[in-house]
Structure 1
Amino acid sequence: MHACGHDLHVAGLIGAARLLAQRRAEVAGDVIFMFQPGEEGPGGAEPMLAEGLLEAAGSPVVAAYALHVSSAGQPLGMWFGRPGPLMAAADEAVIRVLGEGGHGSQPHLAKDPVPVACEIVLALQLMVTRQFDAMDPVVVTVGRITGGTKDNIIPDDAELELTVRTFSAGNRERIHPAIERVVDGITAAHGMRGEVHTVMGYPVTVNDEDEYAFLRETVGALFGEDRHYEMPHPEAGAEDFAFVAQAVPSAYVFLSACPAPDPAAAPDNHSPRALFDDSVLGDQALLLAELAIRRLANPR
């Protein structure tokens, strides 16, 4: 179960729709409400855009806004985000090292892919730190490594599965050929072959600077300036709203629904122990509705 607060998102958006219906005379244009049928993989924003989401009102969308609740990190009711890059692009890569199996007692008669796979794991970390600017981060994490069936059998192959996170389009374009170079070079050095299968996931989520400034101003007007925290750095999670942000000026913000007295120690959204305080629902609905009213009243 992926229960990281999406029930609150749906309820908050319904609340915004009700508020706007009640204040219809104040709405100087059309508003599209985006209820994602899914967030992970291809089930969310991307197919909705392909099906005409942004043309649903019959007139061009001028801006888009989104929020996500958080079960940790900030005190209850705090809004937080930043202009520019907010969340990372998230891609996957599967690496297969092709050797030749044999008996564990005679490795010289085989081509053992297991230590070569281990060498690739370490080399990928070195590649990231020595080929990419630390001020424009890249994260390559090997989340799965498999090979073999028994202690004394050298397998024919070994496999690595990676998540690849980048915070700029440039590094996203560079990182995948760099991974392939590492795999090709190390496997060739040991007389083997390597295969890399890449699955491109979500792009970088980028907040439009003007739209985020407008969102922050609206948060201050509704809730007070002390209810907003500007994140110094983007976070390495990923978000399919990034596809919307590529198509229209957008702003995305987080809202703490953390019920714990110590947010730093609270379980985060993807923990099975995560807890959400739904008292923030009214604030969610109010901000989304007010953003729509104010933005349509002030076209740019």
Structure 2
Amino acid sequence: MTGFTAGDAALADLVALRRALHAHPEVGLDLPRTQAAVLTALDGLGLEITTGDGLTSVTAVLRGGRPGPVVLLRSDMDALPVLEATGLPFAAANGAMHACGHDLHMAGLVGAARLLAARRAQLPGTVVFMFQPGEEGYAGGRLMIEEGVLDAAGERPVAAYAVHVDCVTPKGRAVTRPGPMMSSVSALHIRVTGTGGHAAYPHHGFDPVPVAAEIILATQSFVARRIPVADPAVVSVTRVSSDSAAGNVLAASVSLEANIRALSPATLALVRDELPALAVTLGEAHGCAVDTEYVESYPVTVNDPAETERVLAVLDERYGDRVVRLPFPGMASEDFAYVLEKVPGTLVFLGVRPEDGTSGPMHSDRAVFDDSRLDEHAALLAELAWRRLAGRGAPRPR
């Protein structure tokens, strides 16, 4: 075994698969067309394939010809409800868009499955390929775990890896870090209730609109003054609406939604417990009732330190000075976190920014991903799985 190279994967086939997936994106947990395309792409590889019950997932198990442990490789499958404006010849036209690169993730994982299946006889263990719908806010990773993806091979994986593309990082860079990699995400729903009334006579009632404004401003002060800078949180009020149906009618209620991101359970608990109490107190001071609901979502994405050292050893060999060790975690979230809560592993970002720099940011209608390195994407996933199964890839003694 001399290692996988980019040339091992059939780049043209992977690009064609990616672009077909890009042209027909689907949102959420029910992705029948996407699932069918993945199943077709895996056909003939001799994999043990199962599909989900409550979501259109695909789990494929490759058993090697030599004994060894189990490693899991993961790709997400869903798109975003974004109307594409890239002008690409294969751009989606159905009001959804692969604006986070999940089409490349699927093609890269299919490529890895093909590479590893071609060397099945020498493969020292088993690889589980996890194709997951519903990453964009639907907790598809958690649902697949509940349906048994971690036990698909008959024993738990010893490691799990995922590669996520990034259209704002220069092409060919590999980015990761040990420990917290991405933040948790949760939401706080706030409803401020007053009395409504005539806009000309606000003193006859209790107007919830200025109370909601005070809560919004107080939220920003709360983060700046109650959260330690060394263990940060980001709280953004993302939705505001009232029940007033006319310009001369005072609202009887105002609804707010705050998006909460944190990197530790302690900081998250502080926000979860104290921010609702602050909102209630402000409401009481102005004669308005305040109801809150905290909704927990994805946990912190934590790269296992030992596994990440293994991964970095592989990345250093393949990418040299193009490996970026992040000094700090990011505040975006990722539901691969659910897998990493159960199995030690690592998430790696791979730069695929177009060389002309024309891409918009991730999740935007102008996000453009260079797919000319899909063969390297596939080879990297295959290499990570093989090295871990073979017990190689750990850092050299110093």
TM band (smaller chain): over 0.9
Please give the alpha-carbon distance, in whole angstroms, between the structure 1 residues aligned to 2:179 and 2:245: 47
Question: Secondary structure of 1:260's partner?
Answer: coil
Please give the alpha-carbon distance, in whole angstroms, between the structure 2 residues aligned to 1:131 and 1:216: 36
Query: What are the residue-to-residue correspondences of 1:136-155 with 2, within 5 Å?
Result: 136-147=231-242, 148-155=244-251
Structure 1 residue 220 and structure 2 residue 316: aligned?
yes
- Residue deviations 1:29-68, cap 9 Å, x none? 1111010122123351011000111110011210100011
Q: TM-score, normalised by structure 1?
A: 0.95
Match of 1:14 among 110, 117, 126: 110
How many aligned residue pairs are there? Answer: 296
What residue identity is the alignment partner of 2:326? M
Give the structure 2 partner of residue 38 of structure 1. Answer: 134
Structure 1 residue 128 and structure 2 residue 228: aligned?
no
Give the structure 2 partner of residue 269 of structure 1. Answer: 362
Kept in 2, the 8 Å contact 1:26–1:293? The answer is no
- Residue deviations 1:74-119, cap 9 Å, x none? 2111111211111111111211001111111111111000000000
Give the structure 2 partner of residue 158 of structure 1. Answer: 254
Give the structure 2 partner of residue 245 of structure 1. Answer: 340
What residue identity is the alignment partner of 2:389? L
Kept in 1, the 8 Å contact 2:359–2:369? The answer is no
Structure 1 residue 182 and structure 2 residue 278: aligned?
yes
Give the structure 2 partner of residue 27 of structure 1. Answer: 123
Please give the alpha-carbon distance, in whole angstroms, between the structure 2 residues aligned to 1:157 and 1:181: 18
Query: What are the residue-to-residue correspondences of 1:35-114 with 2, within 5 Å?
Result: 35-72=131-168, 74-114=169-209
Please give the alpha-carbon distance, in whole angstroms, between the structure 2 residues aligned to 1:169 and 1:130: 18
The root-mean-square deviation of aligned C-alpha atoms, in Å, is 1.5
What residue identity is the alignment partner of 2:221? L
Question: Secondary structure of 2:138's partner?
Answer: helix
- Residue deviations 1:137-160, cap 9 Å, x none? 111101111122333211111111
Q: TM-score, normalised by structure 2?
A: 0.72
Question: Secondary structure of 1:141's partner?
Answer: strand
Give the structure 2 partner of residue 293 of structure 1. Answer: 386
Please give the alpha-carbon distance, in whole angstroms, between the structure 2 residues aligned to 1:2 and 1:163: 23
What residue identity is the alignment partner of 1:60? R
Give the structure 2 partner of residue 171 of structure 1. Answer: 267
Extract unaligned runs of 5+ from structure 1. Answer: none
Give the structure 1 partner of residue 290 of structure 2. Answer: 194
Extract unaligned runs of 5+ from structure 2. Answer: 1-95
Kept in 2, the 8 Å contact 1:92–1:164? The answer is yes
Give the number of the structure with larger relative contact order, counting CA–CA contacts within 8 Å between residues 6 or more apart: 1
Q: Which has the higher helix share?
A: 1
Please give the alpha-carbon distance, in whole angstroms, between the structure 2 residues aligned to 1:270 and 1:23: 37
